[in-house]
Structure 1
Amino acid sequence: MAAASTWQRLLSAVLPKGFFPRLYISSVLVLAAAFIIAESYVVHITKERHRDALASEWQIPGVQQVIATSMSTYLVYSVLFILAQVYVIFLCMEALAHRDVLQAIVVVVFYFVQLVYTTARYVAFYVYPGVAARLFTRDSNMHLMQVTVVATYAIALVALTVLANKLRKEVGWNVFKRLGADMSLHRAHIWRQILMMLLRMDIYFIGSFLVQMTALVLKIEAPETWLQVTVFIPTCVILVVGGFYALHGEHRRIMVAIATCLFLSIGYFVFKIYRVCRPEILGKPEDPYADARPFFMITIVVCMLLVTATCVASVMCIRNFDSGLKEAIAYDKMRARHMRMFSSEKEQDEEKAHLVPEPDAEARTRFALD
């Protein structure tokens, strides 16, 4: 019984209250750990096949270069898949730290995008394989792992969508109790939560875009490399950090500037789509996007959609500034802190033990009326 009580207290400390929040967070953590193990094994198989290719009859210099470039592409995207699961765990822990389980629903969107990525990887390996991908056509371990990962993402996406719908109703009622019945305040809170989720997604996907550009495409001697390092990366960091700062403090001018920069950045991503798909490099040996093109196009489209959605959510949040939401959130935090300071974690039986002691059997017999 003591062990069960200790385990119950540990679960209460780690997981949020309620059946569906606990089930949702536990499922996400288990799935993230499973995907990290699976992608680590894919990385191991990729390295083994690259080593076998270098030691086999693939000794033509041009072919060796193509294989090395393709293997680097596969490894980079497998590492990005692993980092995506680490980031999912971070999102769940961050949601628990702020007692805001609604933020964990963004995992559903993450898993949908990851399902698209892994499906594109399966197509690139087994439907339209390139020179390097032909090394894996007869590899049963790689085929089994990729099929398993795609199927698990699909099943997890359906299950988490159902749980997220249940979670939305439960969290919605908690927000209603915390903020009251003012519908304008609830609309402002919903847009605030949407913008926070979009900014968190921007961190990973824009960072993923920068990693792909730096590791797979850009060269040290190219001017575009230094332009990205000195201008684009710092600008992205400033926009994301500034977005969180302006949202929490309701700084209207900063948010207007950020929304304007986000709107202008859509043109940059349209330009990158043209650069990736321009006719003069398609099918050429020096094509820098040879094996990375499907993944790179998915990343650019996702980033462009996210930036557009973030711009729209920023405009909606600007309209809701000075509506009383900032003060309501501050009051809710103060009330929660006050309740934590004066709440007791003792069991009900322990509390009874410190009250007036019950009379013993002899006293009850002596003063009995019957």
Structure 2
Amino acid sequence: MAISESFRKMPLSAKVACWLAGLQALTIIGLEVATLVTVLRYVENVFSSWSSDKSVAIYFMLLVIAALYGVFLLVGGVLNGDTIQIIGFCVFNLFTMSLAIFRYFQVQSWLRSDERAVVVAASEYVLNIIRPEMVASMAVTGGMTVAFGVLTYFMYHSFGWEIYKRVGADLKVRRMFINYRVLVLLLKLNFFMFVGFAVSYIILILKSSDPEFAITVALVPLTLAVLYLAFWSLRRESLWMMWTVVVLLCASSAYFVFKVARMYDPKQEEKYATQRPMMTYYTIVSLVVVAATLRQAAACMAGFGYGLKERVEITRGKRSDMEQIQDYYVNAAGDRRMNLDG
């Protein structure tokens, strides 16, 4: 009920963006299902064993999950009036488009090189069937990214006063609040990048007998625990817990660097031969997100103890009006307004 009421009060640009994000997700799911069904119909040995090449299925899965995760980011940003998360969604949608582009060339290479799955003549036949769907996925994500960019401009102006209403007129507090929201966004992106990398690496690269298999599987729940710890320590401004998160993020960066090094190790060339371009790109993007998270964590820790926690608690309804900070006042209609005189 509350969500429907919030949606009704949204500006038109936000409503259009939400509907377009849902339409994009449904379109991509339809295109990917059609493509995957065609591949499974004509190509053998895709799911014949754990060691079979399932890269085509993983690429499709990543693209579908990215489209759905984008809806989660956009709707969450719109419902909270969070322009930072809305902008982050636009960047994430650009990443989704890049996945579609990489998928196109990886599937093309996969069909032409995997002689176990399909002969060369048949590979061209399959490519001609699925090429329109793959091109359509790239076109849809690319066109929607432009549309979301335009809509974000209008949403930014519609929600422009939201930060002021939440944290007041103090420039320092506003800056800390922006750092806080950026870190929350980066933690959400880290969730997608970590889990997507781990699942892809487990299915595409490793075998159940590999020593790395159990370690990589264990990384999935460990990553979830670290990200939850980061959210918890950020909201409670726990300095020592945030330092723990920083150390664990540094360890994850070292893990990604190690994986990139192994991908280009001549002794491991056979294992990574067909997956190297996609996995390298995904790993580099993950490293960039982790590096940005570390930088943002440092910026947030520098603001601990300066009143941001209390402001955030006010916006989340955890403090009564009597406890609110003086930058706010209640007008005759009972609405909270910002006091610009202080």
Give the TM-score category using the shorter length: 0.7 to 0.9
Q: How many residue pairs are counted as aligned between the two chains?
A: 316
- Which one-letter code corresponds to 1:198 in the other structure? L
Deviation (angstroms), 1:13: 4.5
Partner of 1:333: 316
Change (3 A) 1:178 1:279: same
Aligned partner (choices 181, 185, 190) of residue 197 of structure 1: 185
Deviates more, 1:246-255 or 1:212-221: 212-221
Matched residue, 1:46: 39
* Residue identity in the other structure for 2:259: K
Q: Percent same amino acid among aligned pairs?
A: 22
Counterpart-to-counterpart distance in 1, 2:6 and 2:222: 39
Q: 1:76 to 1:335 in 2, by over 3 A?
A: closer
> Which residue of 161, 183, 201 maps to 1:213?
201
Pair 1:241-2:228 in alignment? yes
**1:103 is matched with which residue?**
85
C-alpha change, 1:119 and 1:336, in structure 2 (3 Å) is farther
- Tell me, in whole angstroms, the C-alpha distance in 1 between the residues paired with 2:6 and 2:158: 19
- Correspondence for 1:122: 104
For structure 2, the residue ranges without an aligned partner over 5 or more in a row are 322-329, 335-342
Deviation at 1:198, TM superposition (A): 0.6
Change (3 A) 1:15 1:263: farther
Given that residues 136 and 142 in structure 1 are in contact (C-alpha distance below 8 angstroms), is that contact kept between their aligned partners in structure 2?
A: no
Shift of 1:298: 1.5
TM (norm. structure 1) is 0.76
One-letter identity of the residue aligned with 1:105 = I
Contact persistence 2:179–2:296 (CA under 8 A): yes
Match among 228, 250, 264 for residue 237 of structure 2: 250
CA deviation vs aligned residue, 1:48-89 (integer Å, no higher than 9, x gap): 1215x89xxxxxxxxx999x833x110122112112222222
Residues in 2 aligned to 1:302 and 1:161: alpha-carbon distance in whole angstroms? 21
Whole-Å Cα distance in 2 between the matches of residues 97 and 33 of structure 1?
21
- Tell me what 1:273 maps to: 260
Say if 1:81 and 1:16 are closer, same or farther in 2 by CA, change over 3 A. Answer: farther
What are structure 1's unaligned runs of at least 5 residues? 1-8, 55-63, 344-370
Q: Aligned AA for 1:45? A: T
Distance in 2, matches of 1:258 and 1:158, equals: 35
Residue pair 2:184, 2:231 contacting (<8 A) in 1 also: yes
Is this contact kept in 2: 1:108–1:160, CA < 8 A? yes
Structure 1 residues 113, 16: CA separation in 2 closer, same or farther (over 3 Å shift)?
farther
Distance in structure 1 (CA, Å) of the matches to 2:123 and 2:176: 51
Give the secondary-structure state (helix, strand or coil) at the position aligned to 2:266. coil
CA contact (8 A) 1:16 1:96 kept: no
Shift of 1:251: 0.8
* Pairing 1:151–2:139 present: yes
Contact kept in structure 2, 1:16 and 1:99, CA below 8 Å: no
> Equivalent of 1:166, from 154, 168, 184?
154
* Structure 2 CA distance for aligned equivalents of residues 19 and 136 of structure 1: 46
Does the 8 Å CA contact 2:13/2:155 hold for their aligned counterparts? yes
C-alpha distance in structure 1 between counterparts of 2:103 and 2:185, whole Å:
27
1:252-306, CA deviations, whole angstroms, 9 ceiling, x for partnerless residues? 1111121122123222211111111222343xxxx22233222211111111111
* CA separation of 1:169 and 1:320: change in aligned 2, threshold 3 A: farther
Q: CA deviation at 1:22?
A: 1.8
Contact 1:103–1:197 under 8 Å retained in 2: yes
User: Structure 2 CA distance, aligned partners of 1:254 and 1:77?
Assistant: 36
C-alpha separation between the residues in 2 aligned to 1:41 and 1:229?
Answer: 30
Secondary structure of 2:271's aligned partner: coil
TM-score normalised to structure 2 length: 0.82
Which amino acid in the other structure matches residue 50 of structure 1?
V
Task: Choose which of 178, 183, 197 in structure 1 pairs with 2:166.
Answer: 178
Match of 1:113 in 2: 95
Q: Quick check: which has more Rg, 1 or 2?
A: 1
Among 204, 213, 223, the alignment partner of 1:225 is 213
SS at match of 2:43: helix
With over 3 angstroms needed to count, the CA separation of the structure-2 counterparts of 1:228 and 1:17, relative to structure 1, is: same
